[in-house]
Amino acid sequence: MKILIAGFQHETNTFSFSKANYMCFKIQDSWPPLLKQQEVLDQTKGTTLPIAGFIESSIKDKETQLTPIVWCSAEPSSFVTDCAYKRISKIIIDGIKNNPDLHGIYLDLHGAMVVESTDDGEGNLLKNIRKIVGYKIPIVISLDMHANVSRDMFKHSDAITMYRTYPHIDMHDAGKRAYEAIKYLINGGKYYKAFEEIPFLIPLHMQSTMIEPCRGIYEYIKCIQDEYNKWAEFATGFPLSDVSHCRPSLIYYSNEKIPRNNDFNKLLQSVITLRSEFNSKLYLPNQAVKFAKSFNHPVILADVQDNPGAGAASDNIEILEALISLKVESSLVGMINNPEVAKIAHKIGVGGKFRAKIGSKFNPDYTSLECKFKVISLSDGKFTFKGKMYKGIRANSGMTACLSIDNCSNIHIVISSVRCQALDKAVFTHLGLNLNNYKIIVLKSTVHFIDDFQSFSKTIINVKTDGLATCDLRDITFKNLNKNIETNL
């Protein structure tokens, strides 16, 4: 049983400030750099990536032979350039052409990739692969739960498995389930399948599976799973991709003909009925800081709209300004992306002081803050994530520095040179910072931080700043969204 495996991931925020070119896929950021052939097996081993789960499951079957081609991802941003898309797709397509004796293909994809000249990066890739292999061999894909699953992705794959947690602490499981599905198909099995669109967008901060309504929906999905014979997936969607297939969706696979009024229909009806539950308040920076000060235990302020993990610039300083003006004691803000300031801090060294401006670097519409900083600690930005989601994955935030503001020494700010979502405590602890010293932590992250930071605090306040990872969907003017999809819950 010879299976070709490859991975090509990008979550495209079409409202973001910069495109993903080939270099963005080549470099190491929160995820590994571009890996080729044997590197895919060697360098994903022991990580939580879907492809690592697939590889791990295949090892127990002696007759399975994997042909690894490529694996790459880029930090969420605006469109993938045509050049990068063509170059990476060609590596996968050539790999398939060079291996005419394949029994199956597994792809580790995201599901919300928008390319300069193609709205549906994954669907287009699958269509092109079918042109080579036809329907003679199965294609199984795993997707992020933030996928905007298109009709082409559904049509040109034989089975789709997806993450079922946000924070994504089960990426590995999606790869494992993909392996079982492809094994069943290669051995002559067949899946009947169903697909339904959900007629409203869900803001990212309300897609968390640690709270209702998603927690209950995914519990039901777990209940209706029958091993690899029958399962459902709920793609909560990525609302920041302005394309016609942007919306949540449900998919269902069964080894038997799908009857009417089955579990899948019940799931569809329950998601639609829960519509108004997907809305929740976002606090403005001053409101949020005042509210946080009212607690007598530590609090997390989630800067959800400036989350680099959803394509934002990660340099908005509105919450920092509120901390300063409301004289908050002992707080930590991270990570603000500003390579120039990080470089100066490294040049001056720990204990040194310098004047600089932060904020508005990537978006001139943001407010900025110019003041004197003191260097608290420094790192080369190379560290290993330790939380459940990214455990074992090597990070690279570039030259990184922890600074304090000269006349507010109790406010610490972590500055990075590469955009990196603050979803893992290692973002701070690798700089020697002790989180117990802070009363308020400001994280540029949406939901992903909840798992690893719950030991710091379970009190989370979602804050609305002027960032490009918009969670208040009323603020977005969509041009390409299907007219039947509601954005105002």
Q: Which residues of this chain interact with Zn ion, rule CB under 5 A?
A: 144, 146
* Paired tokens of 232: 């459902």
* Closer residue to Zn ion (CB): 25 or 438: 25
* Closer residue to Zn ion (CB): 178 or 401: 178
Contact, 453 vs 341, CB < 8 A? no
- Rounded to the nearest whole angstrom, what is the least distance from the CB of residue 76 to Zn ion in the complex? 9
Residue nearest to Zn ion (CB): 146
- Rounded to the nearest whole angstrom, what is the least distance from the CB of residue 476 to Zn ion in the complex? 19
* Closer residue to Zn ion (CB): 52 or 186: 52
* Closer residue to Zn ion (CB): 76 or 138: 76
- Rounded to the nearest whole angstrom, what is the least distance from the CB of residue 407 to Zn ion in the complex? 40
* Closer residue to Zn ion (CB): 146 or 444: 146
* Closer residue to Zn ion (CB): 144 or 321: 144
* Paired tokens of 461: 């306040």
- Rounded to the nearest whole angstrom, what is the least distance from the CB of residue 144 to Zn ion in the complex? 4
* Closer residue to Zn ion (CB): 146 or 177: 146
* Paired tokens of 235: 């793609």
- Rounded to the nearest whole angstrom, what is the least distance from the CB of residue 174 to Zn ion in the complex? 11
Provide the residue type at 393 as one letter. Answer: I
User: How many CB atoms sit inside 10 A of residue 197's CB?
Assistant: 18
- Rounded to the nearest whole angstrom, what is the least distance from the CB of residue 227 to Zn ion in the complex? 25
- Rounded to the nearest whole angstrom, what is the least distance from the CB of residue 368 to Zn ion in the complex? 30
